[in-house]
Amino acid sequence: MLSELIATGRFVDLVLILIVLEGIALLLIRRYRGKGPKLVDIAPTLVAGAFLFLALRFALTDSDPMVIAACLTGALLSHIADLARRFRN
């Protein structure tokens, strides 16, 4: 069962849902408790992670290598944006 979830990419789908839920949870905590990171601080990290998992999903399902490369490029750009923002502060 687990091997089928991994081979079909469904496991990655679950992880992507968890990434979205993490972002929502962090935003709700900030909104209602006034604590926690701002969206601008967490978005690049969440987006980079999501792109990496998308690349994994496409690789597991034998997708076009250009699609995988595009996902990896998106992760890299998001990571660079995150680092640039951190160094500016």
The full DSSP string for 12-54 is: HHHHHHHHHHHHHHHHHHHHHHS-S--HHHHHHHHHHHHHHHH
Condensed to tens digits (0 to 9), the pLDDT of residues 73-84 reads 999 999 999 999
Asked if 70 and 46 touch (Cβ cutoff 8 Å), the reply is no
Token pair 């979205």 is found at 20
pTM of the full structure: 0.89
Condensed to tens digits (0 to 9), the pLDDT of residues 2-52 reads 788 887 889 999 999 999 999 999 999 999 998 888 889 999 999 999 999
Six-digit token pair at 39?
Answer: 């969206």
